[in-house]
Amino acid sequence: MVGMSKKALLLSSWYLPMRVLGWQDAVKLVYVGNVDVLAEYAEEIRSPSVTWKMPAVLRQRRTVPPRALGVKFSRTNVYLRDKYTCQYCFRRLPEKELTFDHVVPRSRGGRKTFTNIVTACRPCNARKGHRTCDEAGCSPAASPSTQGLAARAYPGRRIRRAGGVGAVSRRRRSGLGAAGTFATRH
Ligand SMILES: [Zn+2]
């Protein structure tokens, strides 16, 4: 009989700890086939036709969109997605020098979600202020989304978006000061 409190640790394809799962979710992942089981409990799960060892440690075979994994919106997850790099001037900075920017400002109804928040250094954030990107003449290096987060959270994954963060940042390294060089993408 499986203890109802049994948990399983999910690792990324690069063996980084991702999250702790309840045993039901762990079994579901094994059943779907997206994971390899690295360690098992002694306990067994029985259905009328199948008996499984209870999974203890799982490793993802490939990346899973963060929404499917329930990745929560947080400051740290935004920084991770954006590689701790200001999306306007492309400087990579320590966390304490970063903040996040509402692409559509709060005063215009912009929400605090992965699709409206990008990492920004404090000077760029202050310069953009409560303006939209069109008004400020800038645009973040990459359209904010959960896609980048998946790429950061699972380093093995390549960014598939054409002109990913790296390519764009080389083109636009001059930052907000050279607003004319920013293409707007909305
Ligand atoms: Zn900046």
User: Residue 115: exposed, middle, or buried by beta-carbon count in 10 A (0-12, 13-18, 19+)?
Assistant: middle
Residue found under tokens 């996040």: 100
Q: What digits encode the pLDDT tens for the residues 58-69?
A: 998 876 555 555
CA 87–ligand 1 middle distance (angstroms): 7
**Using a CB cutoff of 8 Å and minimum separation of 24, what contacts does 90-96 make?**
90/141, 90/169, 90/172, 90/173, 90/175, 91/121, 93/121
**Distance in angstroms (rounded) separating the CA atoms of residues 164 and 183:** 14
E strands, the chain, are: 7-11, 17-22, 35-46, 51-60, 98-102, 117-121
**Distance in angstroms (rounded) separating the CA atoms of residues 129 and 48:** 62
Instruction: For Cα atoms 77, 79, 81, give the angle at the middle one, nearest 5 degrees.
Output: 70
Q: Which two tokens stand for residue 178?
A: 């050279």
CA 127–ligand 1 middle distance (angstroms): 9
CA 142–ligand 1 middle distance (angstroms): 14
CA 156–ligand 1 middle distance (angstroms): 27
Q: What digits encode the pLDDT tens for the residues 37-81?
A: 999 998 888 877 778 788 999 998 876 555 555 677 888 888 888
Residue 28: strand, helix, or coil: helix
Q: Residue range 2-8: average pLDDT?
A: 72
Contact in structure between 141 and 169 (CB atoms under 8 Å):
yes
CA 122–ligand 1 middle distance (angstroms): 7
**DSSP letters spanning 59-77:** EESS---HHHHTPPP-HHH
CA 115–ligand 1 middle distance (angstroms): 19
Q: Which domains does the chain have, with CATH numbers?
A: 7-60 (no CATH), 75-136 (1.10.30.50)
What pTM did the predictor assign?
A: 0.46
Side-chain-side CA neighbours of residue 74 (13 Å): 7
CA 123–ligand 1 middle distance (angstroms): 6
Q: Residue range 136-158: average pLDDT?
A: 58
CA-based diameter of the chain, in Å? Answer: 67
DSSP label of 130: T
Highest-scoring range by mean pLDDT, 19-28, 42-51, 68-77, 148-157? 19-28
CA 5–ligand 1 middle distance (angstroms): 46
CA 128–ligand 1 middle distance (angstroms): 10
